[in-house]
Every structure is written in structure tokens, then in C-alpha cells.
A and B are shown apart, each in its own frame.
Chain A
């Protein structure tokens, strides 16, 4: 049954009736799936998503670099779509029109070896398409990479660590971690944010799809990227270059603030750490154990920079670079056993007793 013995004629007939129609249908089904997917994607981008949990689609852009890329990508998609249609139509036509039929299996078809004119045509046309695509591409490359930095630009230094983000605002004297706040940029009076990208250990990549293409953070190298978001809100992304065990949870959260909100945020961030004596026990736990070796808290005699700065820990919505919401229970669990939230992260379990742990958490919760 697996090798039903059949004459060549039966073979041809069977082939004609079933296989090539299946092929044609199959090809159309495949193209349909692709098309559906593409349409769904576009729809998804247009669909409204919750304001504070957006879908980070590269087609839902809110900033000039991302816009330029989007426009270029539509141009490219149209061209490649046309090429696909042409070749796909040819393939389908060939498969249907030139299938062998049962009636004429004895003669071989005309043995054609080539045709210079046709081959020339299908060489020249692709070259022209390449030239067009290249010109469009080069313009956008220069527009984005060689964009001049206006005087009103905000400068931020992002330093990638395994597995968290350090953000410094040199002009403002702010150090924070994991959640970036930048001002919205009015197209009439642009206030873009220019990020200098560094790495403390391995390769990382800064990617907020709705705001810009990604740029890598490479140790011993300074990279730059910029964005000028025109609408306030939360934009999400994550590290896009494999950097080790917890690459998956090196999440990014960018809050684009109105000028007033941004001023308020920077004002709060510039304050030294809360020196409220109410939680002195917890503070002593922090100072006397190894916490100070990694974590800095403004106004305290710490030199720790291996871990995130905790001066305004409670101003952040998440902890562990987005791996968990910043709640009391999560904070406690994170300090008690980081592997429960982010197995393989470089924060060691501090083996604190319950009393010390609770005091410490209460202290950290004063760091607004």
C-alpha cells in the first residue's frame, strides 16, 4: 500500500488530480496565513492597549527615530510585497500550467537551455530595485545616526549591568536604576533625550520599540542613541542582547513625563535619602551587613555601585529590573531569596533573620 504498484499512466493521473491542486491550495493557504498575520499585527498596533502596559510594537511609534524607521519599513514592505506577488504568481502559474498530463508522457518537452534577453532583464531590474532601496536606506541612516544634538537636549548616561540598568543624569546630579524618566518633547520646541550607552560587564542592548531602534551597550565602548517622544505615558522594552542567565528579566520601563511631572520627579530624585530616624534599626541592618558593598544610598557613607542605587527605591513601580512589582511582600522575598524571583541574578541571599529582614524592609520603604 505504501508503494502501490502503478503504471506510469496511472501515476500521472493520480498526480494530476490530487497533488498539484493541493500544492496550489497549499501555496495560497501559506500566503494567506502570512497576510493574515501581517494584518493582525497592524491591527494590534492600532488597537488601544492599556496606557500603562502598552504593546511594544515597532509600528506603534511615538518618537522621530522610530517614525523614520516605520516610514522606511512601509516603503520596503511595499516593494518586497510586490516582488513576492510577482514571483508567487509566476510560481503558481508554472506549477499549474506546465504540470505533466497523462496523455503526453512519451515526448520530452522542448529542451531550452537559456535566453540571454530574459536573463538580462531579470538581472537589471533587481539591481535597480537594490539601488532604490539603498538610497532610501542611506538617507534614514544618516538622519538618525548623524542627528545634531540641540542645546535643549536632556543627557542621560545608561550603564548596562548584569541584569539591571543604571541611569545617570550628569547635568542634574541624579542616579537611579531600571526605570527611566524623560520629558515629553514638543515638536515645536524639541527637547529630545540623548542617551550615552556604556556597559559595566557584558554586551546589552537598549530597546524601546515605540521610541527608537535598539542600540547595544558594549563594554569599553561608548554608544549613543536619542529619542524625542511626543506623547506622555509609559513605554516598555527590555534588554535585547543576550547577557547571561537573567537576560530575560532585564526589563525596561520608560516614563515620558509632562514638563511639570518631569520637574517634580527630578526635584524628588535630587533630594538626599530620607533620614527619618523612625526606622533606625533597619538602617543599621543595611549599614552593618554587606548591603553597603553593592548598593548606594545618597547621604550615606557607601561606595557600592555593583547594585542599583536605592536612594529613591520607593519611587519605582517595580524591583529587580521589572521582574516584580514593588510591593512589601515582593521586596521582602527579593531580599530573603532573590532566586525565587530572578534565579541566577547576581544578588546573593543575605541570610538575614526574620527580625532583621522585617526591619530592613520597613527602612527601605521609607526611601521615597
Chain B
């Protein structure tokens, strides 16, 4: 009986009424289906977030354009940021984790399948609630429309006095709800990894993918919750007349910033650590060598998790903290660069002495290494507090974090898509389209985000719907917009590849990449129950041991 995950095409499947299929998907608790739902949900919002970005870039192409009104522009950057972080990046990473963590640790499903489904639907509801806000239209001068307070929603801009209408409430409630979904998934991942590993899989034999998701989940538990707490406080302020962030009553605007960034900074590490996981799985396979320095990779990740909880106020260097506080956060910010840099060296060490195959997943990972290096270095610049006093709130910061998120996270994600698509669907993606996607995206990405650093250096602040001519910003903004369109075309190529390959791609078989972790030991797509017999492992690369019985890893670990 073919797996009911995706295969509707096999000849012997009785043709199900589409309603039954839909019902199956909506009520599923299977981690693989939920993983796919998360990923499709994220892809949908990726396109929407991309459209929002394009609208902004068109408006900024020349000074004093009126492509959109200031009110619409302010909604665009708020929704773009909120969507991309909470409804693209988080879901897609949870999706991959959901699909692959149980299989990689040799389990049949996650620890709490129903909680898993509940968490997904909470996230989905949050997404749709946020976008429901657009239906607010022009009533009340648009105050009931989509939120326009920036994705950090700084107080007191979100107070009743400055944000009349419900736009800020859409932001608050949709994120509160999806935050609970994230916590649910994190609990699930931790329980699965700690309690459901197959025999022989000690923690030190888990794939790095599992380790990184474990660390990420731990961070979710203590990083998302401060945001939830702050959002509850904001709701109480707005609806029960409380004064948490009410500066007129002695409240503090700065305390919102502290609470938000205590969430916000670990959040970006929550986003990047699973991407480290992708790269740590793909680079070894396409270099034909094991990961260099597995224990240090784990240690560095745990180190990053801890240190990242102490750097948050580097987003607040300009708010007037005293020099000792600024110095403290400067050194912790610089310090967190050390374990991160170590990982880059470990990946290079993995490739050193290997036999590198330049398939699409590996291309994206190599680009990731290059871009993550640059992003990390501009991050070091921003960690030097006085330099940040000039660069904070400018397009330099926007360029930096897009370098991390697009150049780092999205590139690693693309690598993950090309690498694991054969396992999920049973078909290979097209290498030619993949390479076209890669090169187009690299060109567009660099055109936009390399040049974007320059207006920041020349004094252009962020979150402005237009700018004055003659400040030296015009040419760079124009070129950035051109790059946006090139990236858009690349995304279309990618989506086309996803769709065409599903129907026409050659069958992948169990193990198209000759890889070594447990997911490649089952069929593509995996059966509903994952494993016919729960495997027993003796090393970090169980399939290497099977393929090379004369020289198994277990001899060296």
C-alpha cells in the first residue's frame, strides 16, 4: 500500500473523492504531512512577503515617488517584517524539523502528534488573522487596517493614543497565538529528541540536524515567551487602561524595547540555527566527508544559544544607556561571533580534502558560507557600539540583516529544498532549473543587498516612505530595486521547478545523493510508519556503516 503522504499518482490507488483527501490533510497528525503543511504555508507567505517588499522597493526607486501613500508604505514594512519572520521563516523551519527529526532519530512520529497538529493550526490561524487586518480598509482613516507600527511595535507608538483602531491589536494577537503554536512545537521536538531516539542512538550519535533543532527548541521556550508576556502587557494597556508602557503615567518605553529584544535577538538565532543544521547535513554529503569536528559543532551551537541571550541590547545602543551597559553589550555581541565563526571554519574543514560535487544543494551552501561570512562581519561592525551609533536605524542595518536572512537563511533553505525534495516527493528536482534559480538569485541578491549598505553609510535612515534627492542615495536605491526584480524572477523559476518536478521529475529512489543519515534508508516518500523495523545504530553515519562495512564510523567514534 503506497504511503498516503503524497503519492496520489500510483496506479493502484483507488481514486479518492477530493473531499476525503482534503479531510485527511486537515485532520492529519502525521508529522510528515504537518511538515508539508508548514512548508506550503510558508511558501505562500513568502510570495506575499516578497510582493510587499517589491511594493516598497518600487516606491523607493526614485525620490519623492507616489507609487503608494505613506500610510500604505508603513503597513508594507510592518507586514513584510512580521510575515517573513513569523509566517515564513519560523513555519518553514518547523516544517523541515517536523518532517525529518523523527525519521533521523529513528522514531515513528513526534512525541505528541495531536499537539503537533494543534501547534500548526495555531500558527496558521495567526497568519490569517494578521492578513485579515487588510480587510479593515479605509474606515477610521485606515486605523483599522493592517498594522503600521513596524514589526517591533515600539511603545508608545502602539498605545491607544497613537494607534487608534485595531491595527496594533491584529499584530499583537496574531503573534501571541502563533507564539503559543511555536512553543507547542518546541516542546514536541524536545520530547521527541530526548525520549524517542532509536536504540544505539546516544545523544552523541544524533545527526547535527537533530542537535540543532534541540538547541533551537530550547531557545524557543525561553525566547518567545518574553514576547508573549510583553504582548499580554500591551493588550492590558490598550484594553484595561494599564500603564506598562504608558509614558504619560510614568511607564517606560525602554522596557518594551528590553522585553522585545530579549525575544528578538535569540529569535534570529532560532532562525539561523536550523539553517546551520541544513548546511551541516548537506556540505558533508557533497564533500564526501564527515562533518569536521562534530563535538565542537554541538558545543559551539549550545554556546551560541547561551551567549545570544545576553546580547539583546545591541539593538538599543542609541537609546541612551550608560557607557557601562553599552560596553557590556558590545563585548557580548562580539563574543557571540566567536562560536559562529568557528562553525564556518568547521564547514571549510569538512570541504577540505574532500571531493566536492557541485549539485544545486551544494551551490546554495557554498553561497551561504560566503554570504554568512560577510553578514557576520557587518554584524561585528554593528556590535562596535560607537559605529552602531552611526549605522543603527539606517539602511546599513537593513542590508546587514537581509544579508543574514536572505543570504544566509534563505540560501540554506533553498539548499534544503533541493536536497530533501526527492525524499519528500520521490522525484528529483531539475538541476538545470536549479542552477538557473541559483545564479539568478545570486545576482539579484548581491545587486540589492551589497549596494544597500551604501545609502546607510551615506545617512539614509530606514522605514521612510520616500527620501530627499541630492543626498547621494538615488542611484543606489534604484539599483537595489532592479535587484529585487531579478530575485523575483528567480523565485518564480524555483516555484516552477517545484511544480514541474513533482509531475515530471525522474524517480529519486531511496538515496539519490548517496548520503548517510537514517532518512535515506527509507523509501521516497517514506511510508506512513517511517520504518518497518526501528533501526539500531552504532555511529553518527549509520548508512556509511552499512555501505562501508570494512571501514565503519563506529570504529573511530
Contacts and interface: CB of A to CB of B under 8 A. Distances in A.
Interface of A: 1-5, 12, 15, 19-20, 22-23, 26-27, 29-30, 33-34, 37, 40-41, 44, 49-50, 53, 55-59, 66, 68-69, 72-73, 76-77, 80, 83-84, 87-88, 90-91, 94-95, 98-101, 104-105, 108-115, 118-119, 122-123, 126-127, 130, 133-134, 136-138, 140-142, 144-146, 162, 197, 201-203, 205, 207, 209, 212-216, 218-221, 223-224, 236-249, 251, 322, 343-344
A137 B385 contact: yes
Contacts of A115: 292-293, 349
A291 to B, nearest CB: 23
B556 A113 contact: yes
B222 interface: no
B208 to A, nearest CB: 13
A113 B290 contact: yes
B326 A141 contact: yes
A207 B458 contact: no
Interface in B326-354: 326-327, 330-331, 334-335, 337-338, 341-342, 344-346, 348-349, 351-354
Contact of A119 (B342, B359, B366): B342
A100 B358 CA distance: 9
Given A57-B472, A146-B323, A220-B251, A30 B294 contact: no
A247 B462 CA distance: 10
Interface string B296-340: 100000000000000000000011101100110011001101100
B466 interface: yes
B454 A40 contact: yes
23 contacts: A2-B431, A19-B363, A30-B370, A33-B450, A34-B450, A49-B472, A50-B470, A55-B458, A69-B386, A73-B386, A73-B390, A84-B377, A95-B356, A98-B353, A109-B353, A112-B353, A115-B349, A123-B338, A144-B389, A197-B320, A207-B393, A209-B390, A241-B318
Interface string B378-401: 101100111111111110000000
Contacts of B335: 130
Contacts of A202: 154, 156-157, 162, 253
Contacts of B394: 240
B459 interface: yes
Interface in B246-305: 247-248, 250-254, 287-290, 292-296
Contacts of B462: 242
Interface residues of B, number: 114
B390 to A, nearest CB: 4
B393 A58 contact: no
A137 B330 contact: yes
Contacts of A108: 288-289, 355, 548
B386 A242 contact: no
A58 B356 contact: no
A41 B356 CA distance: 37
Given A37-B454, A243-B157, A205 B355 contact: no
A73 B363 contact: no
A72 B382 CA distance: 12
Main secondary structure of the interface of B (DSSP, over half): helix
A116 B453 CA distance: 38
Interface stretch (B16-24, B113-121, B432-440): B432-440
Contacts of B391: 58
A44 B386 contact: no
A83 B377 contact: yes
Given A3-B505, A240-B393, A223 B320 contact: yes
B369 interface: yes
Contact of A251 (B355, B385, B468): B468
Given A213-B389, A245-B70, A55 B356 contact: no
A242 B500 CA distance: 43
A138 B330 contact: yes
B51 interface: no
B457 A55 contact: no
B373 interface: yes
A41 B386 contact: no
A138 B432 contact: no
A209 B459 contact: yes
B428 interface: yes
A91 B356 CA distance: 12
Given A19-B363, A84-B374, A73 B70 contact: no
Given A3-B432, A69-B390, A126-B342, 6 more contacts: A34-B374, A68-B386, A76-B384, A90-B348, A111-B289, A238-B461
B353 A110 contact: yes
Contacts of A218: 253-254, 319-320
B366 to A, nearest CB: 6
In the complex, the 5 A-B pairs of residues with the closest C-beta atoms, listed nearest first: A213-B389, A56-B459, A248-B464, A223-B320, A100-B355
A15 B357 contact: yes
A162 B70 CA distance: 14
A53 B473 CA distance: 13
Nearest to B77: A242
Nearest to B300: A123
Contact of A55 (B388, B439, B459, B556): B459
A98 B293 contact: no
B160 interface: no
B512 to A, nearest CB: 12
Contacts of A94: 348, 351-352, 356
B528 interface: no
B338 A126 contact: yes
Given A49-B472, A239-B461, A203 B154 contact: yes
Contacts of B149: 242
A87 to B, nearest CB: 5
Contacts of B461: 205, 207, 238-240
Contacts of A134: 327, 330-331, 334
Interface string B479-506: 0000000000000000000001000111
B289 A30 contact: no
B320 A98 contact: no
A108 to B, nearest CB: 5
Given A76-B387, A94-B348, A134-B330, A20 B506 contact: no
Given A76-B384, A91-B369, A130-B335, A215 B389 contact: yes
A94 B393 CA distance: 37
A214 B463 contact: no
Contacts of A127: 338
Contacts of B348: 87, 90-91, 94
Contacts of B290: 111-113
Contacts of B9: none
A113 B292 contact: yes
Contact of A98 (B248, B352, B447, B467): B352
B296 A137 contact: no
A249 B463 CA distance: 11
B293 A119 contact: yes
A21 B271 CA distance: 32
Contact of A244 (B162, B292, B331, B466): B162
Contacts of B162: 162, 201-202, 244
A19 B381 CA distance: 33
B214 interface: no
Contacts of B322: 145
A58 B457 contact: yes
A213 B386 contact: yes
A133 B334 contact: yes
B293 A114 contact: yes
Contact of A99 (B69, B356, B464): B356
A32 to B, nearest CB: 10
Contacts of B252: 220-221
Nearest to A6: B431
A216 B319 contact: yes
Contact of A123 (B342, B442, B450): B342
Given A23-B358, A133-B384, A209-B390, A119 B296 contact: yes
B166 interface: no
